[in-house]
Structure 1
C-alpha cells in the first residue's frame, strides 16, 4: 500500500457524523485541482501504483528460504487478494462514500470497530515505514558499505526514515514532487528484472521446491504471510471512492484489475530473481534485484544502477507513507476517534502525526536491531501482516453482516450466494494470514492493537463527559 503522485489531505468529517473520513483520504477541495475526479484507468493506476511499493525489492530474498513453494504462495495470495478486491467493490457499490475499511467497519459495527480499523491501519503504516527503511539499507550497502555492523545499519535505517519526515514538514507540494520521481524510478528496475530476467533464466538456480523443512501447507502459509506486505494497498480505490467517477461501477473493477496487474509484475519479478540468482546466494542477499542484474549482465554498473533506483524508490515510498501515516490519525481525530492534537496541520501536513509516526517507527527499528534478530525486515513485515488483516477482516465481516441481515435490495439469489462465498473466502483468507504470521509477530501486533483499546477508552470517556457542542460532541 503506497501513496502515489500528489499526496493530499483527508476530507473534513461530514456534519451529520454519518461517515468518517478515510485514513489517507485525499482532500475534497471543490475549488482546486484535487476536486477533479478520476475514471477507471486512473483508479486502476492508483491501485496498482499503491500496491507496488518498496517492499518487493527485498521480498524475493525473504521468501527464498522457503524455496519455490513461495511461488505457489504468490498464486494463493493473489486469489485471496482478488477476493478482498471483490468485497471492497461490493461495499463501494452499496456505500460509495470515501472511506474504505474505516467507513465500512464504523457503519456496520459502530465507533469502536471504526476506531480499531483506523488504529490497526495506522499501525500498519508506521511499522511498514520501519520495514521499508530496513529494506533500503540493503541497497544502500551496495553503494556505501553500511551493513557490516548492526549499529551502522540501524543508524542508516534511522536516517532513511527521518529524511522523508523532514520533507513532509516542508509541505505537501514538495512531498508530491518527490513522489512523482520515485514512482517512475520504481518501475524501471522492476520491469528490467521481470522481463529481461526471463531471457537469462536458469532452472538450476531455483533450488529445492520446499527448503524450509515444514509441511507444504505450512511453508505456503508462512511465505504468504511475508508476501502480503507486497499486496498492501488493495483497498486504495475503496479508500478514495469519493474521488472516483461512478464509484459504484469503477471501484470494484479498478481494484480487481489493479490487483491482478500488480500480481503479474510481482510474480514475473520474483520468478526472474529466482532463476538468475543461485538459491544459496539469494537466501543471504540484501539486494536481490541488484544481484539479479549483476548475474544477467556480468556485474559492474548494472547492479549499482538498480541499487540506486531501488534506494530512491524506497525513499520515495517512505516519503509518501510518512504522510499517509499522519493522515490516518488526522482523519480519525477530526471524527473524534483520535486525540485532537493529531488534527493540527501546517502547510497542509498533519505535523503532530508526522512527528509521532517517525518517532514510533524509529523506536521500533532500534528495538528490532538491538533484539539480536538477524531478520529484522521479516519480523517487521509479519507485524504488518497481522495489523493489516484487522481492517481487512472488519470489511469482510461488514459485507457478511449486510448480506445476512435481510437488506438485500438489488441483489438476486445467485448474486447473493456468490457474494457470500467471496466474503467468506476473504474473511477466511485474513484469518489464515494471521496464523501464518507466527507467534512473535502476532505477539507484537496484539500489544500494539490492545494499546489502542486503552486510547479508545480514554477518548470515549472524554466524549461522554463533554458538552454536546464541545470538542468531540455529536460524534457518536
Structure 2
C-alpha cells in the first residue's frame, strides 16, 4: 500500500503547483478557502475511486468503470478525454517551467524565447521516454526528491515568516463570492489531477480491493497538506500586488524570507528539474491511456506501437499535440497561457471523473440490495452524488473559453469513435460471413441424420 500511496501523492504533486499560487492570487485569499473546499471534493472523489476499485480491480481506472457501466461509447469518451487531459496538462507544465527558467537566466524575456523554452520542456521528456522505461524511472526518482524538498521547505519554514498584511483582500476582482470561489477552484483542480493514479494501476496493486481506496485517500490527504501549507506560506510572504504578476512565486517567497536572490535561484533550479520530471511521468501516462483503449479496439491500432516498454506512437502524438496547443495559445491566447491551459485540463479531467461518479451511482442502483448493508449503501450513494456534484460545479467554474476549447477536443473524438466502431463492425461482419459459409449439402440423401458440428464452430 505504501507504494500505491506514494504513486498517488507523487502524481498529484506535479509541477503545476510551482505556478498556481500566482494564478489564483487575482481572486484574493478566497483561493485558500477554495483550496480547502477542493480538498474535501478531491477526498470524496478518492473515496469513490476506492469503492469502484473494489468492484472492478482492473488497470484502467475511470475508463474501465465507464465502459463497464455504460458501454463502449462512454468508455471511449472517458479514455479520449483523459488522454486529452494528459497532453494539455503537459503543455501547461511546460509553460510553468518558463518563469523559473527566467529566474535562472534573467534578461532574456520575450514571447519567442518563452515559446522555445516551453517546447524544449516538452520534447526533452519525450526523448527520454523514447529511450525506454529504465531512463524514465531514473529521471523520475531524481525529480521526485527535488520536487518535495522546496515544497516542504516553504510549507514549513514559510509559516515562521507569515505576514497577514501581505495577503491582500479576501475577494479581489469584483463579482460574486461564489463566482470567485468557483473560478479559483477550477484552476486549483489542476493541482489534484492524479487522484485516480492508484485506480489507474489497480491491476498492478497488491490486494487492490483493500489498498487502492486507502492509498488514494492517504495520498490525496498528504498532497493536500503540502499544498495548503505551501500556498498559504507564499500568500503570506510575497506581497499581493507582486504575487499577482509573479512568474516564479516559490522563488519570490524564498527571496522575501531571506533576502537576496540565492534562495530563489536554488528553488528555481529545483522547480525546473521537478517540472521536467513531472513532464517525464505524464508523457508516459499520455501514451498509456490510449494504449489501453487501443487494446480494446476503441483507439487506432497505431497507439499499440511499443518500443522498450514505452508506447512510442502515443508519446509522439502527445508531444506533437501539446506543442501545437502551446504555440496556438502563446500567439492567440487572450489571457495568461498557463491559466488557459490549466482550465482546459480541468474540463478534460472532469469528463472521466463525472463518468466514474455516474458509474458508481449506476452500480449502486443496479446491485443486489441484499448484499449491501443499508448504512453502507446510503454512505456510498452520498459520496458518489457529492463527487458528481462537486465535479459538475468545477465544470461551471472553468469559464467559457476553457469549456469552448475543451468541448472542441471532446467532440473531435466522436469522429474517431465512429471510424473505429465502423471498422469493428465491418470486421465482425466479415468474420460472421466467413463463419456462415458452408459447403453445399448433398441432395441425394436428404433423409440423412444431421451431424453435430466439431472444432471451433461447436457451441
Q: Does residue 404 of structure 1 match 2:351?
A: no
| Displacement after TM superposition at 1:406 (Å) | 4.2
CA distance in 1, matches of 2:371, 2:237: 51
What is residue 424 of structure 1 aligned with on the other side?
385
What is residue 28 of structure 1 aligned with on the other side?
none
Measured on the aligned residues, the alpha-carbon RMSD in Å equals 1.4
What is residue 32 of structure 1 aligned with on the other side?
none
C-alpha contact (below 8 Å) 1:87/1:422 kept by paired residues: yes
Q: Does residue 42 of structure 1 match 2:3?
A: yes
Q: Does residue 192 of structure 1 match 2:153?
A: yes
Q: Does residue 218 of structure 1 match 2:187?
A: no
C-alpha contact (below 8 Å) 2:60/2:289 kept by paired residues: no
C-alpha contact (below 8 Å) 2:54/2:209 kept by paired residues: yes
CA deviations over 1:212-271 (Å, ceiling 9, x no partner): 212111110000000000000111111111222221111111111111111110000000
Secondary structure of the 2:401 match is: helix
Structure ranking higher in helix proportion: 2
C-alpha contact (below 8 Å) 2:60/2:292 kept by paired residues: no
Which is greater in Rg? 2
| Displacement after TM superposition at 1:133 (Å) | 0.3
CA deviations over 1:61-96 (Å, ceiling 9, x no partner): 000000100011011101111111111111111222
| Displacement after TM superposition at 1:357 (Å) | 0.8
CA distance in 2, matches of 1:432, 1:78: 14
Match of 1:295 among 230, 253, 256: 256
Match of 1:271 among 218, 232, 252: 232
TM-score, with structure 2 as normaliser: 0.92
| Displacement after TM superposition at 1:299 (Å) | 2.0
Match of 2:33 among 72, 75, 93: 72
Over 3 Å counting, the alpha-carbon distance change for 1:147 and 1:65 in structure 2 is farther
TM-score, with structure 1 as normaliser: 0.89
Over 3 Å counting, the alpha-carbon distance change for 1:100 and 1:372 in structure 2 is closer
CA distance in 2, matches of 1:330, 1:243: 16
Match of 1:234 among 168, 177, 195: 195
Structure 1 segments (4+ residues) deviating >4 Å: 467-470
What is residue 440 of structure 1 aligned with on the other side?
401
Over 3 Å counting, the alpha-carbon distance change for 1:42 and 1:372 in structure 2 is closer
- What residue ranges of structure 1 are gaps of 5+ in the alignment? 1-39, 471-476
CA distance in 2, matches of 1:184, 1:469: 54
CA distance in 1, matches of 2:370, 2:158: 50
C-alpha contact (below 8 Å) 1:137/1:146 kept by paired residues: no
Match of 2:93 among 129, 132, 149: 132
| Displacement after TM superposition at 1:164 (Å) | 1.0
| Displacement after TM superposition at 1:467 (Å) | 4.4
Over 3 Å counting, the alpha-carbon distance change for 1:469 and 1:308 in structure 2 is farther
| Displacement after TM superposition at 1:413 (Å) | 0.8
Match of 1:456 among 378, 393, 417: 417
Q: Does residue 395 of structure 1 match 2:337?
A: no
